[in-house]
Amino acid sequence: MFEEVPEIARIDSAAPALSDETFIVLRNFIYAKTGIFFPEKKKYFLEGRLAKRLQYLKIAHFEEYLQLLKHDQQKHNEFEFLCNTITVNETSFFRNEPQINAFQRSLAGEVLDIKKGLGTRTLRIWCAACSSGEEPYTLAILYLEHIKPRFPDLHIEIIGTDINTAILESARKAEYNHYAVRNTPELYVQKYFDNSNGIYRLHEDVKNLVRFEHHNLMDRQKNRRMMHFDFIFCTNVLIYFDEKSKIQVVGDLYYSLNRGGYLFIGYSEMLHKISTAFKLVSIPGATVYKKE
């Protein structure tokens, strides 16, 4: 899952080296703060991604960098930079078709009935590790295409959050390359993007449906403030956590959902051994977790 990073090939021989001992201290620090766990075989990944930063800061040793991280976070914002450097942000529009179908089915099947029954007119969706925004914007397009025409009185609130502040900036900008839209139906590309010189700019009516906020899923106090969602998408991020972090995060997400709400996780992720609180709902091609 970390393989797509090519920086390792570009580390020059003068770059600071990360010893095995310092790697353990650094990875424990990262794990405690973010839930992201780097096994031994990913030492090269951290070293590769951070070496240039050390050179930029004119820091010769990773031990010194650790001190900066531990004691000087406020002054240099180094923890923020670290998060922006070590996270893997792979995503795309319409990334997981079965999941999109499952979202539409669960929505049409009963969530809307519940909303109507409660007299609640706002559908609340949280994309909890949204990277550069493709996932929440995909949901916004689906809303405009399929939900709004049928339920004009139903409002939608989509919140995209991520630990990486730089990637959130690009999410707000909403300009993409062809690779990001490669799975998007051509009709939607034509309808919701302006394409010039290979840059796909998302239309304002889609952009305006999504709000982006910085949020670390390991921050339990902040998690407690994320409440009353009908859908939570927490996709392709749990793979970076170990079992303990997954249990904590998924437990918090359970409380963030409304009764009858759904949690979507990544294609290769399962809540087996992580949580028994949800009801597993099998929708062809996708596994969805429901809070009953």
Ligand X SMILES: C[S@@+](CC[C@H](N)C(=O)[O-])C[C@H]1O[C@@H](n2cnc3c(N)ncnc32)[C@H](O)[C@@H]1O
The reply to whether 236 sits near ligand X by the rule CB under 6 A is yes
Residue among 115 and 262 whose Cβ is closer to ligand X: 262
The reply to whether 123 sits near ligand X by the rule CB under 6 A is no
138: CB partners within 8 A, 6+ apart: 93, 94, 95, 100, 184
Residue of the chain from 55, 73, 85, 89 that contacts ligand X (CB under 6 A):
89
The reply to whether 99 sits near ligand X by the rule CB under 6 A is no
Residue of the chain from 235, 256, 258, 287 that contacts ligand X (CB under 6 A):
235
The reply to whether 27 sits near ligand X by the rule CB under 6 A is no
Residue among 76 and 220 whose Cβ is closer to ligand X: 220
Residue 143, H or E segment: none
Task: In angstroms, give the least distance from the CB of 162 to ligand X.
Answer: 5
Nearest to 56 by CA among 31, 28, 19, 85: 85
31: CB partners within 8 A, 6+ apart: 37, 38, 242, 245
Contact 158, 125 (CB under 8 A): yes
The reply to whether 97 sits near ligand X by the rule CB under 6 A is no
Residue among 113 and 169 whose Cβ is closer to ligand X: 169
Query: Please, how many CA atoms are within 13 Å of residue 193, restricted to the half-sphere of its CB?
Result: 27
218: CB partners within 8 A, 6+ apart: 33, 34, 35, 245, 248, 249
Query: Which one of 85-93, 103-111, 141-149, 174-182 is the stretch in contact with ligand X (CB under 6 A)?
Result: 85-93
- Contacts to ligand X by CB under 6 A: 34-36, 87-91, 95, 129-131, 135, 162-164, 167, 215-218, 235-237, 240, 266
